[in-house]
Each structure stands twice: as structure tokens, then as C-alpha cells.
Amino acid sequence: MGMENASNGYRVEISPQNGLNETLQQAGVYLRTMQDRQVETYGLFDSAVWTPGKARSREFANAYPISAMFVGIFTALAFIPVASYLIFTAFVLISTVSLALATAIGFTLFVGLFLFGTLIIILLFASAATLGLLGCFLAIRLLFHIRSQEGQGVQGWVAETKDRIVPPSAQQYVRDAQTKVNEYYDAAKDRSVKPEQM
């Protein structure tokens, strides 16, 4: 793992083999080189742009004092409308984007709620239709068991209905639970004290 300064190619190696002091010294050297580089960059701006601009402004003010005064006053007075225009433009842009997002979110929520209501209606209809068809089927099977020669009566219909509606694994679970409860009560009955034994 290393850090490199592009201006002079200085590379700092940070590894577990180096001591902590040596690593901190290398990091300090790296930070100083980065700071020097930033100072050089600011120095370039200062020497290439700021200082020549100030010198030209002074030369212009000395050569054309009335024009320089006009430019200075115009710049000072124009700052307020230009800043107002930029602030207004930013406000309009932000307002437009915010309104567009709010409209999109609101429309999405409206459509989502409408479709959710539609799904609720469909759920109710499907549930009612399923229950109605299941009731008709069970009624037809009851009639079959009661009226036909192959039918087994109401008890056969109950057994068939239980087999169709309740899964076999759930039926086995219920039977096992009932067996355990009966065994528990039988054991409790055997251990209980009878009034004659008192």
C-alpha cells in the first residue's frame, strides 16, 4: 500500500515491517509535499491571474479615470440584479424540479391506491366465488352420498370432505395430538387419589 505524489514522484511505503515512527514520518513528508503542491497551485493563480489583473485595473484607472469609475459603479450596481437573476433562476429550477417530483410521487400514489382498491375488490370477488363454488361442490357431493347407491351417507361425505379440505399431514398431527392428550389424561386418572382411599 503506497501513496504517491505526482509532481515529484515521491512514494511513501506503509507496511507492517516499518516501525510506527518511520511510517508517521513518511506520512508527514507526504502531507508536506501535498501542501507545497497546493501552495504552488495557488501561487500560479496569484502570479498568472490575480496580480496581472490588479495591475491592468490600476493602469486602466490611471489612464481612463472616468471610464474606470463608470465600470466600478456599474459593476457594483449590476451585482444586485445579476445576483437576483441567478437566485431567481435557481429558485425556479428547484421549484420546477420539486413540483415535478411531487406531482410524479402524488400521481404514483394515486394510481397505486386505485390499483390497491381494485385488488381488494378482486380479492373479495375471488374469495366469494371460491367459497360459493366450494359450497356447491360439497352440496353436490352430499346429495351424491345421500341419494346414490354407491354413496356412504353423511358420514362418508364428512370423511371425504375432511380428506379434500384438510391435508393428510395436518390430520395425522391432530390424531397424534389427540392420542397424547388421551394418554396424559389416562395417566393422570390412574395417579389421582380416589375418595375411598382417603
- The angle at the Cα of 150, spanning 149 to 155, to the nearest 5 degrees, equals 105
pLDDT of amino acid 5: 45
CB distance 154 to 146 below 8 Å: yes
pLDDT value for 90: 97
pLDDT of 89 reads: 97
Residue appearing with cell numbers 354413496: 151
Tell me the CB-side half-sphere exposure of residue 7, using CA atoms within 13 A.
11
pLDDT at 1: 45
Q: In the chain, at which residue ranges do the beta strands (DSSP E only) sit?
A: 2-4, 11-13
Pairwise CA distance, residues 45 & 53, whole Å: 11
Strand partners, 4: 11
Q: At what angle do helices 153-165 and 65-147 cross, to 10 degrees?
A: 160
Q: What is the DSSP letter of 196?
A: G
| SS3 at position 2 | strand
Would you state the pLDDT for residue 12?
52
> If we measure between CA atoms, which residue out of 61, 82, 62 comes closest to residue 71?
61
Four-residue CA torsion sign, 111, 117, 123, 126? negative
Q: For the chain, which ranges sit under pLDDT 50? A: 1-2, 4-7, 198
Write down the pLDDT at residue 137: 93
| Rounded Cα distance, 62 and 51, in Å | 17
